[in-house]
Amino acid sequence: MSAHAKIDATFPAIALKTVTGETVTLGKPPQGQWQMLVMYRGLHCPICKKYLGQINDMKADFDNRNVQIVAVSTDPEEKAKKFADEVGLNFDVAYGLGIDQARDLGLYISTPLDSTETDQPFAEPGLFFIRPDGGLHFAEISSAPFCRPNLEMIKMGIATIQDKNYPPRGIG
């Protein structure tokens, strides 16, 4: 990861629009909440649709843990809206993350394999878990669409962090 997204350090605040017209700030959870940022490849990715659909099915579990879920992509507004509608997402879907911003977060960047995939470079998947104070507690970065953290393990890990005050790891 880059110098801008380090474990146990303040996550870079990035304000983005959501498909509902609101603004969400990555790295700034609502008062008293945690924030789980799920970076997805874009409308063209069927694996992203399946993964975010699974998160959507678990939304009540994350709500019970006071976790704000935000899906984020480099897609423009129209593609992000279509993605959210197709999957039926019931949480924030932010769009327009810049490629340089994605690199600053440590995400891998890919170019389309061909014009049937998409028409612009895009960020590969990542998951960031942000504490209420804005600090990055853990992260998972992938260079491929099929390498993503197991969501049951993520839920279990969040419970451990919150219930046992489990500290950030990998900072030493």
Q: 14-47: b or e for each residue (b if 16 or more CB lie within 10 Å)?
A: bebebbeeeebbbbbbeeeebbbbbbbbbbbbee
Determine the Cα–Cα distance for residues 153 and 104; give it in Å rounded to an integer. 26
| Structural domains in the chain, sorted by start | 14-162 (3.40.30.10)
pTM higher than the cut 0.75: yes
Decide which of 59 and 172 is more confident: 59
Single-letter amino acid, residue 100: D
Question: Which tens digit of pLDDT belongs to each residue from 115-167?
Answer: 877 889 999 999 999 999 999 999 999 999 999 999 999 999 999 999 999 99
- Under DSSP, is residue 149 helix (H, G, I), strand (E, B) or coil? coil
pLDDT-derived band at 3, boundaries 50, 70, 90: very low
Question: Which tens digit of pLDDT belongs to each residue from 41-84?
Answer: 999 999 999 999 999 999 999 999 999 999 999 999 999 999 99
How many C-beta neighbours within 10 Å does residue 75 have? 26
The CA–CA distances, whole Å, from 7 to 4, 14, 100, 121, 138 equal 10, 17, 20, 26, 6
Q: How many CA atoms lie within 13 A of 131 on its CB side?
A: 17
